[in-house]
Amino acid sequence: MESYLLKSLLNLEDKNISRENWLIVENGEEFETLVEELYGEIRHQLDRQIDHNHEPIYKPLKIILAQRDPVKFLAGFIAGCAAECAVFLCNPDWEKNEWEQVWDLVNPDMIWGDEIKFPDFTTTNTNITSEKPIISGIMIPTGGSSGKIKFAIHTWETLTASVRGFTEYFNLSSVNSFCVLPLYHVSGLMQFMRSFTTGGKLVITSFKQLTSESGQKSDIYKIKNSDFFISLVPTQLQRLLENQKLTQWLSEFKTVLLGGGPSWNDLLTKARANDIRLAPTYGMTETASQIATLKPDEFLKIPLDEFLKTKNSGRTLPHAEIVMEHLLENEHYGENHLGVIRIKAKSLALGYYPTIWQDDQGFLTDDMGFLDQNGYLHIVGRRSNKIISGGENIYPSEVEAAIRATTLIMDVCVIGIPDHNWGEAVTAIYVPQSPPTPILEIKNQLQQTLTRFKIPKYWIPVVSLPRNQQGKINISQLQQIILESLDQEEIV
């Protein structure tokens, strides 16, 4: 790719895009210089490619991008995209098992990541011998909660389609973002993409820094919060709402996008009580973030009991279409016929590396829900997580929300475990309060909100639940906890 296309990606020739002080992070002013340097590294590596006959050959480089420093990460991302490489976004905190999966899948040509404990493999390939197809694109990791890493294949076009849908939905010409989520994750990357491609400003800090004493000063970033979007996962929102100063600070934002997993009633009630301009979203790595969002004005106006009952995720964004697959005719949620969500979107990934999807019917998710008469999306739970106990269908998210609403536990996850009497037994793995509340007391409260068969039959106390940075449960670790509890007869 010629240098003028690099300039085009950097928007250096677009007079409508301001690049003055747009990246608000330590060493942010070095971004463009780093892009040029890293782009040069790629060109040098491309010039070294040879085939079996030692003839020059051009194939997209496969780059592992695992920089902790956000400026280096973003510079590497843009340089790799400009050179039409296959850029694999990676978590620098992955352990040996995860890195071995990545190496088996990718076999990288270049590695950018300071002080990362990679496996003992060669860091460059000058002879291209991989039998796997080499695809250029932006590879975003997903599937970590299952223990098996996959990379969704995106392109500059799919990511910018998501940006266009976002700006049209919120009626914006530019987007200012305050990012506390990891850039290797779609939730963090898309905040960069929205600001970078629209000429907005981007603040980057860690959530740890934000919640520290120095991070609580509202003027530390020299921005006006009401001009910015901030994206959070439920556990982060909970942390902020536990601090009065941070709650006030958060209430000043234009919009607080909330995604990454189901939210519980107590959390949403507290956000409403503090006038947080919350925008619950629905989306995933495969769709380049949100494809449905409830606007903050609607969140603050919808009657609270109505909202908490069906968990409104808002309307579909302009670049996407949601289709309900009614696979099970007898599945209902109140008066609504449940379906499995199928997504068609301009932002949809092309496949999981290295396989390109051939099905043009859209992406069939694992999520169950319904579209109401006004076109609002409501998520009930995951099809694969559904518990069938005594012939009854039970969705863990509903049970978890009811348990959290008692305020008698700190955290909880509900799953089904095999049971010779019931088929599956509803089981709660929970973090008790200190001192712990008797399980009988929790069950008595649940009888007011849940039918009897939905109340967990087994309760497993733990010190903490195995969650990742996005607040999602690591299922493989959770299963290990359950096995150990069964062996030690720690189930209540």
| One-letter-per-residue 3-state SS of 116-157 | CCCCCCCCCCCECCCCCCCCCEEEEEECHHHCCCEEEEECHH
Query: Which range among 15-24, 139-148, 388-397 shows the weakest confidence by mean pLDDT?
Result: 139-148
Query: How many other CB atoms sit within 10 Å of the CB of residue 398?
Result: 18
Please state the rounded mean pLDDT for residues 160-170.
Answer: 98
Looking at the predicted structure, is the pLDDT value of residue 262 above 80?
Answer: no
CA distance 288 to 159: 6
Could you tell me the pLDDT band of residue 144, with boundaries at 50, 70 and 90? Answer: very low
Residue 130's pLDDT is what?
Answer: 46
Quote the CA–CA distance of 180 and 206 in Å, as a whole number: 5
State residue 64's pLDDT score.
97
Lowest average pLDDT, out of 60-64, 142-146, 325-329, goes to 142-146
Q: What is the pLDDT of residues 67-91, one digit of tens each?
A: 999 999 999 999 999 999 999 999 9
pLDDT at 132 over 70: no
Domain covering 3-134: architecture: 3-Layer(aba) Sandwich (3.40)
156-384 folds as: Rossmann fold (3.40.50)
Mean predicted confidence (pLDDT) in 313-330: 86
Least confident of 45-54, 240-249, 411-420, 463-472: 45-54
Report the chain's mean pLDDT, rounded to a whole number: 86
Helices (H), 146-295: 156-169, 186-198, 207-210, 234-241, 244-251, 265-273
Percent share of the chain, pLDDT over 70: 85
Q: For residues 119 and 100, is the Cβ–Cβ distance under 8 A?
A: yes
Mean per-residue pLDDT for 434-450?
Answer: 93
Of the candidates 316, 172, 166, the one whose C-alpha atom is nearest the C-alpha of residue 231 is: 166
C-alpha span between 334 and 163 (Å, rounded): 35
**What's residue 383's pLDDT?**
80
pLDDT value for 50: 64
What is the reported pLDDT for 3?
56
For residue 236, give the nearest of 468, 491, 393 by alpha carbon: 468
CA torsion, ordered 7, 13, 18, 22, to nearest 10 deg? 10
Q: Which residues fall within 8 angstroms of residue 64, CB to CB, at 6 or more apart?
A: 88, 90, 102, 106, 108, 110, 111, 112, 113
> Residue 179: pLDDT above 90?
yes
pLDDT of residue 128: 41
Please determine, for residue 490, whether its predicted confidence score (pLDDT) is greater than 60: no
As a whole-number percent, the residues of the chain with pLDDT over 90 amount to: 57
Residue 443, pLDDT above cutoff 50: yes
CA distances (Å), origin 42, targets 46, 57, 138, 185: 6, 14, 16, 23
CA-nearest of 450, 367, 464, 382 to 415 is: 382
Give the number of other Cβ atoms within 10 Å of residue 209's Cβ.
12
Confidence of residue 153 (pLDDT cuts 50, 70, 90): very high
Per-residue pLDDT at 126 exceeds 50? no
Contact assessment for residue 228 and residue 203, using Cβ atoms and an 8 Å cutoff: yes
Residue 153: strand pairing partners: 139
311: its two tokens: 């968990």
Which region among 163-177, 269-283, 327-341 has the lowest average model confidence (pLDDT)? 327-341
**Which has the higher per-residue pLDDT, 471 or 490?**
471
CATH 3.30.300.30 location in the chain? 386-488
Split at pLDDT 50, 70, 90, the class of 57 is: confident
Is the distance from CB of 177 to CB of 189 less than 8 angstroms? no
> Tell me, what amino acid is at 169?
Y
Q: Which of 280-289, 392-401, 409-418, 466-475 has the highest mean pLDDT?
A: 280-289
**Running DSSP on this structure, what letter comes out for residue 50?**
B
Alpha-helical segments (H) within 255-303: 265-273, 296-301
CA separation for the pair 220, 330 (Å, rounded): 55
Does position 18 have pLDDT exceeding 80, yes or no? no
Look at residue 53 in the predicted model and tell me its pLDDT: 62
Residue with tokens 């590497």, as numbered in its chain: 76
- Of the candidates 183, 177, 109, the one whose C-alpha atom is nearest the C-alpha of residue 140 is 183
d(CA 462, CA 480): 12
Q: Is the pLDDT of residue 60 over 60?
A: yes
Residue 240 reports pLDDT greater than 80: yes
**What's residue 187's pLDDT?**
95
d(CA 61, CA 88): 10
Kindly indicate the confidence band of residue 216, based on its pLDDT and cuts at 50, 70 and 90.
low
Give me the pLDDT at residue 283, please: 96
* Secondary structure (3-state) at 370: strand
pLDDT category of residue 224 using cuts at 50, 70 and 90: very high
Q: What is the mean pLDDT of residues 166-186?
A: 97
Q: Which CATH superfamily is domain 386-488 in?
A: ANL, C-terminal domain (3.30.300.30)
pLDDT tens by residue, 358-394: 878 899 998 889 999 899 999 888 787 888 887 777 8
Look at residue 327 and tell me whether its pLDDT is greater than 80: no
**CATH 3.40.50.12780 residue ranges for the chain:** 156-384
| Per-range mean pLDDT, top range of 30-34, 218-222, 304-308, 422-426 | 30-34
* pLDDT at 473 (0 to 100): 84
Token readout for 341 is: 């969500």
